[in-house]
Structure 1
Amino acid sequence: MKLKNHRPSTRLIREPRAMPKKRNLGRWIYIGLLMLIGLWAFDVFFGQFFFLRGNGLVVARPYVVASEYIGTVQDISVRQGEAVNEGDVVAFLKSKQYDEELARSHFELSALSADRARLTSELNGQRELIALAKKRLSSATSFRDRLETGLANGVSTGTALNTAYEREYTAREDLERITSDITSLRAELAALYQQIDQRRVLMQKIEAAYDEGRLVAPAGGIVTEVNAIESSVIRPGDPIMTIAAGTPYVLAYFENGSLYDIEPGQQVTMYYGTRNLTGIVTALLPVSEQLPEEFQRSFEPADRAQIAEIRIANPENFPPLFAKLDIGGGLFSSIHRLFDWMLEA
């Protein structure tokens, strides 16, 4: 009886220990995903109450270039984004209103000057008459004294004395009238000189305000917005352009009703793109303001937030004006930014 030769089997036998490791790995991935989802849900619904979170805009003190009169824009010598110095001419205006007002002021000044010349001439004439009136009164008084002496001595009559009295009365009345006229003319001239001085000051103010149509920058800074165009008509107070001057700072908006407190001097972290900026809270404004459009959510009522001013501690990394910043701090702020990035992607 022959035995058959059996070839050795080469089948692979799975090791029983490999399967539990894969199952453990899947379980940990599943648990990790659940934790991320839970963390995301907690951040979405409750994160704003527990963790520092806000938005900010890089701003500077705004100055508005406006006209004090109605005019037509002849030329705008600067453009948005250009740097200007205080006193630089930024626009030229032509005002028909100014021309009419200045012509009217010149006419009124000419009329006042004519009245001054007329009153001065009358005053000089009255001054010449007053000397003659004084001589006339002195002569009438002396004549009346002689008649009174003659009447006492029986030389003159009562009729002649009455005539002397009438002459003296008339002379005294004329002197009083001339004196009163001189006083009145002096008062009128004094008031007229005051009106002329006021008119000249007003004309100087009009000319200084118009300055031949030049509009200058009230402060040195960056032109952030140009509201007018050439040949457009500008009314008094209408902004022609806006200039941001001074050191930029961050105007921050924080959610109302949070459980954390923001205090002056507190250090915060601000995010602009891939850059991290350090800021110091310098002031908390005692108002709750409506959020700008950049921070409003679509199809939701307008939100209001606490306002704070933040100084950027590292000025070498200054973002541009009106750049939007995210404000936060700590690990959860980074996680929140990661979730926002994932949702946007």
Structure 2
Amino acid sequence: MKQFKLKEKKTFIKILKEPPVEKKKTNVSRIVYLLILFFVLTMVVKRIYNGNVTIFADGQIELPKQTINFPNDIKVIDIYTEEGKTVCEGDTLFKYKILRDEIDQANLESKNQENSWIIKERLSINKKIELNKILISNKSLNLKQINSNINTSESLLLGGLHSEYNQYSHLKDVESKIRSEILYLKEEIKLLLNHLNLLIRNQQNYLNSTRSTSEIYNRLNYFIASIDGVISDVFYEENEICFKKEEMLTIHQLKDASVITYFDTNEMDHLNVGDEVSVLFPDGNVQQGRISKFFVSTYALPSEFQKKYEPTERNIVAQVVPQSTADEKLWQKFYKMNVRVEKSRYNLF
């Protein structure tokens, strides 16, 4: 076979070098534009999703509490507790004394006036009874004299002295009249005595009432705790006056924490007892809860949730409790703080 050989002579074809390819410059403006567009679209989609799928509501963490107040003004004598102190049922919290208010003072003055009238009336009745007794005594003496004269006239008539008849008849009329007057005075004394007994009973009732009322206002009282809990507020100090219906102190129980949630009235059809919700706390923590109950009527939205310069809104108020009892301590730490509550508008499962 014939061997094939390449020519080894130098070629006259020149090779041209390709120019270097320039790298494309990054279009920063386009990237920024795309990022902004993506962010806007994400926010729009999220807003549309949340507006149609998620229900948002404001709420506050609440704990069961007992507020101590009184129907009368009181003077605080001694306080045996302080804010933040744990108390148990049966502990003595403070010593106080009940004060008279204007109504009690007016009632006392009215009773005093009534008692003064009773005293005057008793004196008047006793005086009248004594006068009647004197009149009865005098009339009885007159009656004896008249009876003696009647006996004398009867003896003369029996002796045949008929001229004594007119005198005898007159004496009998006088006797009858005196007897009637004595009887009337005795009956009047009976009525006066009955009235006097009634006044005595009324006065005794007044004295008993005054005595018991004085005991109430002069007695030192002790307030005993009826629940276990923590003293959260003490509004008055020793020797200060706590006016009626004002809070003296507040005891909070460290259990059964819940969220009082204010839902928009338009969401009524999507809310039911037992529905699960998410509770977003101020520290960013999210806990699961459930709606335990709804309150009977709608309530005005608290001022901290109310938008400024807008009409006051009324909302459906629900109580949300922790889904797990283990989360309750976390809820207690945020007492009286605002939280955000979220719920799915539709129950998919």
State the TM bucket, normalised to the shorter chain.
Answer: 0.5 to 0.7
For 1:329, the aligned partner's letter is: K
The structure-2 alpha-carbon separation of the partners of 1:120 and 1:74, relative to structure 1 and needing over 3 Å to count, comes to same
Give 1:177's aligned residue: 185
Give the Cα–Cα distance (whole angstroms) in 2 for the partners of residues 204 and 284 of structure 1. Answer: 43
The structure-2 alpha-carbon separation of the partners of 1:134 and 1:52, relative to structure 1 and needing over 3 Å to count, comes to farther
For 2:272, the aligned partner's letter is: E
Give the Cα–Cα distance (whole angstroms) in 2 for the partners of residues 247 and 50 of structure 1. Answer: 30
Give the Cα–Cα distance (whole angstroms) in 1 for the partners of residues 114 and 225 of structure 2. Answer: 32
Structure 1 unmatched ranges of 5 or more? 4-11, 20-24, 333-345
The structure-2 alpha-carbon separation of the partners of 1:122 and 1:253, relative to structure 1 and needing over 3 Å to count, comes to same
Structure 2 unmatched ranges of 5 or more? 1-8, 12-19
Tell me if the contact between 2:150 and 2:171 (Cα under 8 Å) persists in the aligned partners: no
Query: Quick one: which of 322, 326, 329 aligns to 2:343?
Result: 329
The structure-2 alpha-carbon separation of the partners of 1:172 and 1:259, relative to structure 1 and needing over 3 Å to count, comes to closer
- Listed one character per residue, the Cα deviations across residues 90-123 of structure 1 (whole Å, up to 9, x for unaligned) are 353585879x969979978996997799699779
Tell me if the contact between 1:64 and 1:240 (Cα under 8 Å) persists in the aligned partners: yes
Give 1:60's aligned residue: 64
Deviation at 1:306, TM superposition (A): 1.6
Give the Cα–Cα distance (whole angstroms) in 1 for the partners of residues 327 and 135 of structure 2. Answer: 86
Q: Does 1:90 align with 2:90?
A: no
Deviation at 1:183, TM superposition (A): 1.7
Give 2:3's aligned residue: none
The structure-2 alpha-carbon separation of the partners of 1:131 and 1:162, relative to structure 1 and needing over 3 Å to count, comes to closer
Tell me if the contact between 1:72 and 1:232 (Cα under 8 Å) persists in the aligned partners: yes
The structure-2 alpha-carbon separation of the partners of 1:301 and 1:201, relative to structure 1 and needing over 3 Å to count, comes to same
Count of aligned pairs between the two proteins: 310
Q: Does 1:216 align with 2:249?
A: no
Query: Quick one: which of 287, 299, 302 aligns to 1:288?
Result: 299
Tell me if the contact between 1:227 and 1:239 (Cα under 8 Å) persists in the aligned partners: yes
Give 2:249's aligned residue: 241
Tell me if the contact between 1:151 and 1:158 (Cα under 8 Å) persists in the aligned partners: no
Tell me if the contact between 1:59 and 1:249 (Cα under 8 Å) persists in the aligned partners: yes
Tell me if the contact between 1:56 and 1:251 (Cα under 8 Å) persists in the aligned partners: yes
Matching of residues 1-345 of structure 1 within 5 Å:
33-42=39-48, 47=51, 50-57=53-60, 58-60=62-64, 62-66=66-70, 68-69=72-73, 72-82=75-85, 83=87, 85=89, 88-93=92-97, 95=99, 153=158, 157-201=165-209, 203-205=211-213, 207-208=215-216, 210=217, 212-214=219-221, 216=223, 219-220=226-227, 221-244=229-252, 248-258=257-267, 260-272=269-281, 273=283, 274=285, 276-289=287-300, 291-297=301-307, 299-301=308-310, 303-310=312-319, 312-313=321-322, 314-318=324-328, 319-320=331-332, 321-330=335-344
Deviates more, 1:117-126 or 1:236-245: 117-126
Deviation at 1:168, TM superposition (A): 3.7
Deviation at 1:130, TM superposition (A): 11
Deviation at 1:68, TM superposition (A): 0.6
For 1:42, the aligned partner's letter is: I
Deviation at 1:286, TM superposition (A): 1.8
Deviation at 1:193, TM superposition (A): 1.0
Tell me if the contact between 2:53 and 2:345 (Cα under 8 Å) persists in the aligned partners: no
Deviation at 1:253, TM superposition (A): 0.9
Give the Cα–Cα distance (whole angstroms) in 1 for the partners of residues 38 and 290 of structure 2. Answer: 34
Over aligned residues, Cα RMSD in angstroms?
5.3
TM-score by length of 1: 0.62
TM-score by length of 2: 0.62
- Listed one character per residue, the Cα deviations across residues 126-163 of structure 1 (whole Å, up to 9, x for unaligned) are 99989979988997997798689768755653324423
Tell me if the contact between 2:273 and 2:294 (Cα under 8 Å) persists in the aligned partners: yes
Deviation at 1:51, TM superposition (A): 2.2
Tell me if the contact between 2:292 and 2:320 (Cα under 8 Å) persists in the aligned partners: yes
